[in-house]
Amino acid sequence: MFEAIDLKFKNILDIERVSMVDPIVCLIGPSGCGKSTLLRMLNKMEQPDSGAVYYNQTDVSVIAAVELRREVTMLPQTPIIYEGTVRDNLVAGLKLQHRELPDDNKLQEVLDIMYLKLNLDGDTSRLSGGEKQRISLGRVILLDSPVYLLDEPSAALDPANEKRIMDSIVSWIHENNKQLIMVTHAVELAEEYAQQLISMDGGKII
């Protein structure tokens, strides 16, 4: 769970108090209102000018960034795809953390969660934007961390795919007792999934 108190950052964020304790928290608001900045602050990719963010009651400024990010995994707004195969891309996060690599059955399971019909040995250079986004999601799912920060995970998907993939991620979060804090433009889906819906405008919680 997270809590932010008296959080100020440049002229971008000005948040008196917000807590995020529910399994599914969605952040919505107009473009440029500070959603990504707030999300980035939760795993120390950005530091506030004043105020503090607490993760499970501990001020994140005293938690080492690597340690925090092992528990709190962020999916950035722009998907990252490395040169190589689908398999290379899926296991890239685990490799960075020097962890054991899963067998193909496990990787196939993750492709199924993302509704991706791709060959694990296939090349990633010609994938569509939506496919790249889903591979990036698969990569973070494999990290199996307790908390996920997803920034517009469905932005590159058409409405039908958006719905089934978001359903799939949300079920996975619930089944595995994780927490998901998600920025999304899909307000109707956010209303359907979120136990807590945080609406932002002009750097403030409204």
Q: How many chain residues touch ligand ATP (CB under 6 A)?
A: 11
Q: Which of 2, 7, 24, 36 binds Mg ion (CB under 5 A)?
A: 36
Partner interacting with residue 10 (select from ligand ATP, Mg ion, none; CB below 5-8 Å by kind)? ligand ATP
Q: How far is the CB of 30 from ligand ATP (least distance, A)?
A: 7
- The tokens for 51 are 């105020």
Residues 28-47 binding ligand ATP (CB under 6 A) are 29, 31-37
Q: How far is the CB of 33 from Mg ion (least distance, A)?
A: 9
Going by C-beta distance under 8 Å and a sequence separation of 6 or more, which residues neighbour residue 162? Answer: 154, 186, 189
Nearest to 43 by CA among 73, 76, 19: 73
Q: How far is the CB of 99 from Mg ion (least distance, A)?
A: 29
Cα separation of 131 and 4, whole Å?
34
CA dihedral sign, ordered 93, 95, 96, 99: positive
Instruction: Using alpha carbons only, give the angle 177, 150, 178 rounded to the nearest 5 degrees.
Output: 5
Amino acid in the structure at residue 25: V
Going by C-beta distance under 8 Å and a sequence separation of 6 or more, which residues neighbour residue 8? Answer: 14, 15, 48, 49, 50, 51
Minimum CB distance to ligand ATP smaller for 40 or for 87:
40
Build a one-symbol-per-residue string for 47-86: x at contacts with ligand ATP by CB under 6 A, - elsewhere: ------------------------------x---------
Q: How far is the CB of 197 from ligand ATP (least distance, A)?
A: 15
Evaluate whether 183 touches 27 at the Cβ level (below 8 Å). Answer: yes
Build a one-symbol-per-residue string for 57-96: x at contacts with Mg ion by CB under 5 A, - elsewhere: --------------------x-------------------
Q: Which residue is nearest to Mg ion (CB)?
A: 36
Give contact residues for ligand ATP (rule: CB under 6 A): 10, 12, 29, 31-37, 77
